[in-house]
Structure 1
């Protein structure tokens, strides 16, 4: 499954979980422990304030245990811990927190560490918090394709959608849609549709009708090949940059106001490894 990248500017990080938390999802996190680190924590919370409940508190303490707990009604509950701490000062790590029916199953560097059983219903968990002595290089929630999810905070100039993937050998087409809502009836501000062996078609869908199509005949997407691409949100439109050949592909001018665009949809014949919204200043 692809990983939906989350935009991390500074710690502490507190932000809503796009689409909410549900069984089958997994949080991926890659980082390094500073040499002077004492602790860090990852919290799955019911809201963004300190007084909100914490369904799962994951707290590695360097040279000590990994402590886990929940926080409810302004009180910490019975803690659980693991003495075999896999986090070491000055070392990199990768971890997955898999959301299972029984609880939060944590894997660190490919090995299962612990399963913390649910104490607070999943449907109440809406926020992710990361803080403490850790340098996070990459994190995000694993998702499935087709994907339909909200754009946290809405779409605005200065953002970019990053997508890394590959075109399957038997692919015919795939689609990336910037939409005003989750249903087929909602408007599509930008429809991006590479067709293998043909062109890249682009359009918008408004008030129940497709509008005037635009296309690029020099299609950079090839069957069996990997690609990286950015959709840079500019004042004039959606600037598409595809790093198969490192060139700007096209700028599709705005037809629907940015503030109305709330959803991202990815579907069709494409293998996606990573995708998510980032700040333009981070890549250009």
Structure 2
């Protein structure tokens, strides 16, 4: 069992609010420092004319880990990715992957999982690379993102079996106003824990007379259902057997709004796309969360 100090540090990081649409260059301290099992999620878009960008985990002037997608005229679309460490002003040897999950002009999600042995780096929900520690990960106290990239979300959470109800947890059912409505580029972030015996959870974007988008993981059916509710009737369900949630596990849901659809990312992986059926975007101004879930952070 963890001692109270380590548990307190984990709670501090778990509760560190995500950053929504931060400007680049981006830099922020990591509350409580790095711990085994911590996950950093970075979602964004590579600019169409990008030559490179960096995601750095730093300590002072040292770069403990650099994830560095690069592009060249020889590889104009795909490019390649470099991992490295800079210690005492000197770069080490480059570890290169001559492929990239970061195409120019495209959205991406990057996750870095810290383990005792290495950083496990996943992109768009798939393991991409593993980088063995060259410096103690406990030294990392800051994340920086620079270069030709736009950011939607930078978030911090833990992969743990279950978190108890936390002081300050948000009451469920939960409801809040989305000021300005779901205009294009709007990102809604929801962080929490699925209950161990969960049957159903609902994430809904509502307007005055209906529900523009209902996103419903159903553990009793092992499906995710997307739908809308208009004129007193539910529309045609879009059902997916891809279940990105686990009972008793933490989660990070990001709903990104565009003129044509809603894109849903779960813990950094793009999982579902739902085409808009209700187009008065400024009228979609209420977020509701219901069901078998605990909430720890919401950015409507």
> Is residue 17 of structure 1 aligned with residue 30 of structure 2?
yes
Structure 1 counterpart of 2:288: 244
- 8 Å contact kept, 2:110–2:123: yes
User: Which residue is equivalent to 1:211?
Assistant: none
Alignment of 1:21-170 (within 5 A): 21-47=34-60, 52-62=61-71, 63=75, 64-143=79-158, 145-146=163-164, 168=195
Tell me what 1:271 maps to.
Answer: 294
CA RMSD between the two structures: 3.4
1:248 aligned partner: none
Question: CA 1:142/1:167 → structure 2, altered by over 3 Å: closer, same or farther?
Answer: closer
1:124-161 Cα offsets, whole Å, 9 max, x none, are 11010111111111121113634689xxxxxxxxxxxx
Deviation string for 1:42-81 (max 9, x for gaps)?
A: 000013xxxx111101100133320110000011111111
Change (3 A) 1:164 1:27: closer
Secondary structure of the equivalent of 2:297?
Answer: strand
Question: d(CA) in 1 for partners of 2:167 and 2:32?
Answer: 9
1:260 counterpart residue number: none
How far apart, CA to CA, are the structure 1 residues paired with 2:123 and 2:53?
15
Structure 1 runs of 4+ aligned residues shifted over 4 Å read 1-4, 146-149, 162-171
Taking structure 1 as reference, are residues 8 and 243 closer, same or farther at Cα in structure 2, changes over 3 Å only?
closer
Question: How many residues matched?
Answer: 170
1:168–1:125: structure 2 CA closer, same or farther, 3 Å change rule? closer
Aligned pair in 2 of structure 1 residues 57, 18: CA closer, same or farther (>3 Å)? same
Listed as ranges, the gaps of 5+ residues in structure 1 are: 150-161, 172-227, 229-241, 246-268
Aligned twin of 1:193: none
Change (3 A) 1:89 1:121: same
Aligned residue in 1 for 2:183: none
CA contact (8 A) 2:23 2:150 kept: no
Gaps in structure 2 of 5+ consecutive residues: 1-13, 169-188, 199-252, 254-285
Shift of the 103–35 alpha-carbon distance from structure 1 to 2, 3 Å rule, reads same
Structure number, greater radius of gyration: 1
Distance change (3 Å), C-alpha of 1:83 and 1:5 = same
How far off its partner does 1:85 sit? 1.4
